[in-house]
Every structure is written in C-alpha cells, then in structure tokens.
Amino acid sequence: MKKVGNAEAVVAQTQEVREGADKKWTYEFKNLPKYEKGTEITYSIEEEAVAGYVGALSGYNLTNTHTPETVDVKGEKTWDDANNQDGKRPKSITVKLIKQVENGQPVEVQRKEVKEGTDKKWTYEFKNLQI
C-alpha cells in the first residue's frame, strides 16, 4: 500500500496475502489516515511480481493470469511390410495419445485416425497440449 500526499509516494503498509478457507485471496488495509498535514492522501497498491503469472490491477483488485505451457506431439507410422506386398495394410489406423502423471493411471487424452497422405507418409499431430 502506497500513499501520496504532497510528497513522493511512500510505502505505507505491506501485507502478505494467503489463500483463505473460502479459497479466496483477500486483503484489507484498515484505519488508514485520510489526511497528512492537511492534504488528502491518495492510496494505491502494487504487487510484487509472481513468477509464471502476468499481473493486472483494477482499482484495488489484483488479477494474476497464468497461461499454461503447451506442447505439440508429432509422429509418423512406419510400415515394415515390403511396401504392402501382401496387401494387408489397413486403410487407416487409430493413434491414441496417453497421458500419465508420475505414478498415476494412464489416461487417454485424444485419438486420431491416421491415413496415408499424398506424400505416402502416415503422419499425425496432437497440438496445443497442456503440460
């Protein structure tokens, strides 16, 4: 909390804010003087930067926004069948993208049907996956 009277802005109070039982992050500055040496004080707030977040201030409300990192997963199916000499190659295959976090259970995230492209390659891509 900064205050401005007739002089430069000075830090009036600081607070460490933590998540409450209601899952909200609230703060309140109480009993602040309205005047200093006859001049009305204007108060403002600032927040120290939080790693991985972009902060925005509206009045006395702070909003921190985090945009999760994403990754693309690309792959190619390779057939080792002498260029389909026996005619057994299917028209398409299904590729499943599986996610497993540490020791958790594997979970299917997406699936794609993959066919031979005009370039004779069987390629697939899963885009913008949150890390």
pTM of the model: 0.59
Q: Return per-residue pLDDT of the chain as tens, 131 residues.
A: 766 766 678 888 899 999 999 999 999 999 999 998 899 998 999 999 999 999 999 999 999 999 999 999 999 999 999 999 999 999 999 999 999 999 999 999 999 999 999 999 999 999 999 88
Q: Which two tokens stand for residue 70?
A: 């994403």
Contact 62, 48 (CB under 8 A): no
β-strands 39-40, 35-36 pairing: antiparallel
